[in-house]
């Protein structure tokens, strides 16, 4: 007999989370391919299973096209997750989807490195290329 996972249904609506808008500003050098690296070393969210806090560093590496990310709005976006229960893998995917939707970059790489829990560090990497 197959047992049901106690994780079942915990992240059912994760893709529908209403997050703060990530704002952008117009890139005056859309003809130039260059990279921007953003480090967010104090990210926090909640483990959806235990309710305990998770701590991570998020690194965003992107090559803008028409728009660049406005950093204060990105900060407000990341703060939103402070009280949200979300799996590490879902967080990386959600951030990537929202980032691409906001600025439509040439490419972007999101790396989330979660602090060890139970002796295990989790790193999730997602990439998007036009």
Per-residue pLDDT of the chain (130 residues; tens, 9 = 90+): 454 566 666 677 888 889 999 999 999 999 999 999 999 999 999 998 888 999 999 999 999 999 999 999 999 999 999 999 999 999 999 999 999 999 999 999 999 999 998 899 999 999 999 9
The reported pLDDT for the residue numbered 118 is 85
Q: What is the model's pTM?
A: 0.91
Quick check: is 34 in a domain?
yes
Read off the CATH number of the domain in which 36 is found. Answer: 3.30.1130.10
The reported pLDDT for the residue numbered 63 is 98
- Say which of 31, 35, 39, 54 is annotated catalytic: 54
Residues 6+ apart with CB under 8 A from 44: 53, 54, 55, 56, 81, 82
- Say which of 31, 35, 47, 103 is annotated catalytic: 47
CA atoms of 85 and 122, how far apart (whole Å): 16
Pair type for strands 36-46 and 107-117: unpaired
Quick check: is 8 in a domain?
no
Give residue 103's domain range.
20-129
CA atoms of 12 and 26, how far apart (whole Å): 35
Please say if 31 is a catalytic residue.
Answer: no
The full DSSP string for the chain is -PPPPTTTTTTTTGGG--PPPPPEEE-S-TTS---EEEEEEEEEEE-TTT--EEEEEEEEEEE-SSEEE-HHHHHHHHHHGGG-B--HHHHHHHHHHHHHHHH--SEEEEEEEEEEETTEEEEEEEEEE-
The reported pLDDT for the residue numbered 4 is 52
Summarised one tens digit per residue, pLDDT across range 67-83 is 999 999 999 999 999 99
The reported pLDDT for the residue numbered 1 is 47
The reported pLDDT for the residue numbered 80 is 96
Indicate the number of domains in the chain. Answer: 1
- Phi and psi (nearest 5°) for 25? -135, 155
The reported pLDDT for the residue numbered 41 is 98
The reported pLDDT for the residue numbered 23 is 98
């Amino acid at each position: 007999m197959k047992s049901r996972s106690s994780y079942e249904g915990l992240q059912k609506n994760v893709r529908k989370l209403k997050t703060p808008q990530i704002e952008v500003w117009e890139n005056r050098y859309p003809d130039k391919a260059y990279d921007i690296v953003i480090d967010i070393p104090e990210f926090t969210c909640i483990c959806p299973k235990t309710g305990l806090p998770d701590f991570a560093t998020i690194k965003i590496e992107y090559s803008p096209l028409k728009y660049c990310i406005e950093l204060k709005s990105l900060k407000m976006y990341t703060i939103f997750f402070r009280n949200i229960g979300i799996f590490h893998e879902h967080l990386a995917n959600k951030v990537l989807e929202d980032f691409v939707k906001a600025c439509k970059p040439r490419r972007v790489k999101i790396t989330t490195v979660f602090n060890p829990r139970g002796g295990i560090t989790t790193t999730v990497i997602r990439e998007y290329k036009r």
